Amino acid sequence: MIEHSSAAAGDSAAPEPARRDFVREIVRADLAAGRHNAIATRFPPEPNGYLHIGHAKAICLDFGIAAEFGGRCNLRFDDTNPAREDPEYVEAIKEDVRWLGFEWDQLRHASDYFEVFYRSAIRLIQTGHAFVCDLSAEQVREYRGTLTEPGRESPFRNRSVAENLDLFARMRAGEFADGTRTLRAKIDMASGNINLRDPALYRIKHVEHQNTGSDWPIYPMYDFAHSLSDAIEGITHSLCTLEFEDHRPLYDWCVDRVDLVNHPELWDFLPARGLPTAPSKPRQIEFSRLNINYTVMSKRKLIALVGEGLVDGWDDPRMPTLQGLRRRGVTPAALRLLAERVGISKQNSVIDYSVLEGCIREDLDANAQRRLAVLDPLKLVVVNLDADHVESIAFPNHPKNEAFGTRLVPFSRELWIEREDFMETPSKGFHRLVPGGEVRLRGVGIVRCVDVVKDGDTVTAVHCTLDAETRHGMPGADRKVKGTIHWVCAKHAIAAEVRLYDRLFTAADPDDDSDGKTYRDHLNPDSRRRVRGWVEPAAAQVETETRLQFERTGYFVADRREHSAAHPVFNRTVTLRDTWAKPK
Ligand code: ATP
Ligand code: MG
């Protein structure tokens, strides 16, 4: 068996060691035992919202395993809940999966199989495994029982096959109003697993569907549609999160009772519709969800954040959506690295936000070019240079990787430096510029502060002399001073809007409402600051979505919607170091 080392497209990294989580062990064992010639997985999002970082874990697993074991992975839209679904989400999900670096084998929709589900339901009626029930939703709840008490059988449970077939056909024909009847599996009202107490398979819902229009007034329930969709597509390993563990007996019940493998009449029209089909008996395997602190991940809360205007939409760079992370400058490689680090298990845990940030830094440190930018400018005048002095200084684009080449940075008499790099009355241990003191200007040489210009209490400029003996190639070039600061040339720098993003929540568990607060009360008021800074020309000129390290400042991305060379807009992806490690 050959294992491909890397799942994602566009990876040029050295082969990684084979991963050894329990899902991969199962797949290895199944292949070794000859249970499958090739494996097939699927990623099955419901198109009722944007994908978030938790989905990235599932995507990396579903697509990653398929690629590693030479199998295939479908993207399937689980579109059985038409009232909550939208084509806008469908397009975004496709874009996000590709952005993460994966390509699906086939694009499918649960709605492609509505006719298969319908025929399968009829088969279950014919074999005595399903019945039409007239109980209302409330009555069904009453009959269901509790965790400690068995349920009671529906009075409609023993309808004849003929009556069930007639009623189900009339449900399908649209004769009955929403909620008046359901088709239910006939399993066991006394089962310890409540999911097996005659669960609904179909409900009546007169609502338009984005793919099937008004063709269907009835829609299949999740467990029925999901298990059969997996079987139809020949999925071998159906990977899902732990909350579906209790549904697995029902999943297996549907697959076994319908038995698509031995009943081609239920699906044999699909290939003619361009949907090649080779049914399997899929195996469901559950793994723990990704949870990250300082974040909310439920779709309901993400929808609320957007709907209540607490963020600027789904792609707000503070959102844990893939669209938001992308706009923030997070790379697909960083998310794949996170998925790998977090690993796959059945243990529920909360990952510290710093693990995500660490993955982002690791990728950007290796791959982001360096540039100079000043975000809180103070004028520095090199008084011993001529007023019309201009030169270009070659800077390496990356300190550890010569392949990134060099660029020319303009330098002249007037510069911008960071205000915090100068202190008129220095505090102890301050090693940057002070009156009468020296500092190295990155790439230039050593300057000494000879004068401080003030307007009232505010320092408006510092005047310095440049020691020509310390310039590149001169005998004093290696002379040591304690501090090195960065700068941009005032004459050539481009004004830029810079958005300093931080965590959206100040509480590690924004969902904790034990003190009567909700996640809305834990929003970080400093999660976005907008500043006007100055960037060197070679920073302004980058394409949108280019990620850069602004030296000494952090990692930034040229905003994919608003950046242009004339009006640069940069989003801070992450600071250079973890500023949250110490409690604030
Ligand atoms: P909802 O159930 O509210 O619609 P969901 O997050 O479960 O939201 P789905 O579209 O059903 O959304 O998810 C698609 C796939 O992604 C499922 O297989 C699900 O198990 C997986 N998934 C969702 N959230 C996470 C998470 N936090 N970590 C890992 N996998 C996840
Ligand atoms: Mg779900």
pLDDT tens digits for 523-540? 999 999 999 999 999 999
pLDDT at position 9: 42
**526 and 563 together in one domain:** yes
**Is 103 domain-assigned?**
no
Number of domains in the chain: 2
State the distance from the centre of ligand 1 to the C-alpha of 213, rounded, in angstroms.
Answer: 26
Whether residue 15 is predicted with pLDDT greater than 70 in this model: the reply is no
Q: Which domain holds residue 510?
A: 293-371+494-584
State the distance from the centre of ligand 1 to the C-alpha of 204, rounded, in angstroms.
Answer: 25
Q: Which one of the ligands is nearest to 285 CA?
A: 1
**Is 342 domain-assigned?**
yes
State the distance from the centre of ligand 2 to the C-alpha of 46, rounded, in angstroms.
Answer: 7
Catalytic residue selected from 248, 299, 326, 407: 299
Q: Which one of the ligands is nearest to 299 CA?
A: 1
Ligand 1 pocket, CB under 6 A: 44-46, 48, 54-55, 57-58, 240-241, 289-290, 297, 299
289 is a catalytic site residue:
yes
Percent of the chain with pLDDT strictly greater than 70: 97
How far is 500 from 572, CA to CA, in rounded Å? 5
DSSP letter, residue 213: B
**390 and 527 together in one domain:** no
What is this structure's pTM? 0.94
Helix orientation angle between 161-172 and 114-126, rounded to the nearest 10 degrees: 160
Whether residue 549 is predicted with pLDDT greater than 90 in this model: the reply is yes
Catalytic residue selected from 3, 46, 545, 562: 46
The per-residue pLDDT for range 505-524, each reduced to its tens digit, is 999 999 888 888 888 999 99
The per-residue pLDDT for range 402-428, each reduced to its tens digit, is 999 999 999 999 999 999 999 999 999
299 is a catalytic site residue:
yes
Local structure of 415: helix, strand or coil:
strand
**413 and 449 together in one domain:** yes
**461 and 549 together in one domain:** no
Are 47 and 93 contacting, i.e. CB atoms less than 8 angstroms apart?
yes
pLDDT band for position 2 (cuts 50, 70, 90)? very low
419: CATH: 2.40.240.10
**364 and 501 together in one domain:** yes
pLDDT at position 19: 84
How far is 368 from 556, CA to CA, in rounded Å? 9
**Is 119 domain-assigned?**
no
The residue among 486, 512, 534 that closes a domain is: 486
**Is 132 domain-assigned?**
no
State the distance from the centre of ligand 2 to the C-alpha of 557, rounded, in angstroms.
Answer: 32
**404 and 537 together in one domain:** no
Are 517 and 484 contacting, i.e. CB atoms less than 8 angstroms apart?
no
State the distance from the centre of ligand 1 to the C-alpha of 85, rounded, in angstroms.
Answer: 15
Helix (H) or strand (E) holding 161: helix 161-172
The residue among 469, 486, 503 that closes a domain is: 486
pLDDT at position 16: 56
**431 and 574 together in one domain:** no
The per-residue pLDDT for range 150-183, each reduced to its tens digit, is 999 999 999 999 999 999 999 999 999 999 999 9
**334 and 346 together in one domain:** yes
**Is 389 domain-assigned?**
yes
**341 and 366 together in one domain:** yes
**471 and 393 together in one domain:** yes
**Is 189 domain-assigned?**
no
**Is 577 domain-assigned?**
yes
How far is 114 from 570, CA to CA, in rounded Å? 47
**500 and 442 together in one domain:** no
SS (H, E, C) 111-128: HHHHHHHHHHHHHHHHCC
The per-residue pLDDT for range 209-257, each reduced to its tens digit, is 999 999 999 999 999 999 999 999 999 999 999 999 999 999 999 999 9
**Is 367 domain-assigned?**
yes
> What residue's CA is closest to ligand 1, atom 15?
45
The residue among 486, 519, 551 that closes a domain is: 486
**381 and 479 together in one domain:** yes
Pocket test for ligand 1, best of 23, 43, 55 (most atoms within 8 A of CB): 55
